[in-house]
């Protein structure tokens, strides 16, 4: 990315801030942070104090604004999204406006402005989705992977980023420090565990190795929520109680990063998986040879590497 102009939508979020710090090490010509929150932009401007970083107020829902901010950009990293499962459940149309229509605006603007590549950030909740956030992200993926044109568009898909803004770990950490109860919905639920550095690594990997329509996934361990809560208690030597409240709207027992049907198009890249696009057109008959694709087991938080209490404690020490 040396001497290139980079645009990061939703650039003031947890991922955006970590990613921009990484990109600055590669000496880009300019990084444009495009987001809606002027307070977060102001705080980030003061923290970075780098003339290469330019802040632009705007919303991916605003098609005209997106087209304007894309001028002269070489690479786009699309992180702007509505991400909270419960809020999207209550306001699903808002999820559609940002996650689906906003993504379409970003890709159309990139194509119109001859952007070389767009990397879109997705989520494990897009696989066999049962909630509005996951459904909107699944549609985002379809828009991204169906694009054909000058601009190469690929997708990264990852699970929960540990200690990111709005996630449960900082909430539990505060409760452990103050002696309040650590509340979880269901202790037997499992979730992938990814550090913010892992998420940044995945996106950089996608820039270098993701082709048109590819979905890139970083292999990740998982744990159950009860073990995660106990690990937080262990770090803070807390005597707080752990209480279960029952599943919230739209929560899954286990999350998936690769669906069963997708496994037939998945390539093992070592530390990563790549799901290649289905490039057939609507004339299916000319491709059908009478054989069926082999379908493997999905890649889920239930069947991936499972971390025990001590391993989760060690991982949490990296982010707390």
Tens of pLDDT, residues 78-112? 999 999 899 999 999 999 999 999 999 999 999 99
Q: What is the mean pLDDT of residues 161-185?
A: 89
Mean pLDDT of the chain: 93
Per-residue confidence (pLDDT) for residue 250, from 0 to 100 = 84
**Residue ranges of domains in the chain:** 5-159+194-218
Residue 252 is a catalytic residue: no
Return the residue matching tokens 């444009």: 32
**Residue 160 or residue 193, greater confidence:** 193
Establish how many alpha carbons lie within 13 A of residue 316's alpha carbon, considering only the half-sphere containing its beta carbon: 24
Per-residue confidence (pLDDT) for residue 280, from 0 to 100 = 82
The closest alpha carbon to 252, from 299, 183, 185, belongs to 185
Catalytically annotated residue among 125, 218, 233, 274: 125
Q: For the chain, state the CA radius of gyration.
A: 20
Q: Which two tokens stand for residue 169?
A: 């770990």
Kindly give the residue spans of alpha helices, DSSP state H, lying in the chain: 14-24, 38-48, 63-69, 85-90, 92-95, 102-112, 132-145, 168-178, 196-209, 225-236, 309-316
- Is 286 a residue whose pLDDT tops 90? no
Query: Within a 10 A sphere around the Cβ of 296, how many other Cβ atoms?
Result: 13
What CATH number matches the domain at 5-159+194-218, 2.70.50.60, 3.40.50.720, 3.10.129.10, 3.40.30.10?
A: 3.40.50.720
């Amino acid at each position: 990315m040396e001497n290139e102009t980079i645009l990061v939508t939703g650039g003031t979020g947890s991922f955006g801030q970590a990613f921009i710090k990484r990109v600055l090490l590669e000496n880009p010509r300019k990084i444009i942070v495009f987001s809606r929150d002027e307070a977060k932009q102001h705080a980030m401007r003061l923290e970075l104090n780098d003339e290469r970083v330019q802040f632009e107020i705007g919303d991916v829902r605003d098609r005209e604004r997106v087209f304007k901010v894309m001028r002269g950009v070489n690479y786009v990293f699309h992180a702007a999204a509505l991400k909270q499962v419960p809020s999207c459940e209550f306001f699903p149309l808002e999820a559609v406006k940002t996650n689906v229509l906003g993504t379409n605006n970003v890709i159309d603007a990139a194509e119109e402005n001859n952007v070389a590549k767009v990397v879109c950030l997705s989520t494990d909740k897009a696989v066999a989705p049962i909630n509005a956030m996951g459904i909107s992200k699944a549609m985002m993926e379809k828009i991204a992977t169906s694009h054909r044109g000058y601009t190469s568009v690929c997708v990264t898909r990852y699970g929960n980023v540990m200690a990111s803004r709005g996630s449960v770990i900082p909430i539990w950490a505060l409760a452990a420090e103050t002696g309040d109860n650590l509340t979880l919905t269901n202790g037997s639920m499992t979730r992938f565990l990814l550090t913010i550095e892992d998420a940044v690594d995945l996106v950089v990997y996608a820039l270098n190795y993701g082709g048109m329509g590819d979905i890139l996934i970083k292999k990740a361990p998982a744990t159950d929520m009860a073990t995660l809560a106990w690990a937080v208690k262990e770090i803070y030597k807390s005597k707080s109680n752990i209480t279960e409240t029952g599943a919230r709207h739209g929560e899954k027992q286990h999350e998936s990063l690769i669906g069963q049907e997708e496994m037939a198009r998945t390539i093992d890249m070592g530390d990563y998986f790549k799901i290649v696009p289905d490039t057939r057109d609507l004339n299916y008959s000319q491709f059908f040879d009478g054989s069926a694709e082999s379908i493997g087991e999905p890649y889920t938080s239930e069947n991936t590497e499972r971390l025990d209490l001590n391993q989760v404690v060690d991982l949490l020490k990296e982010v707390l």
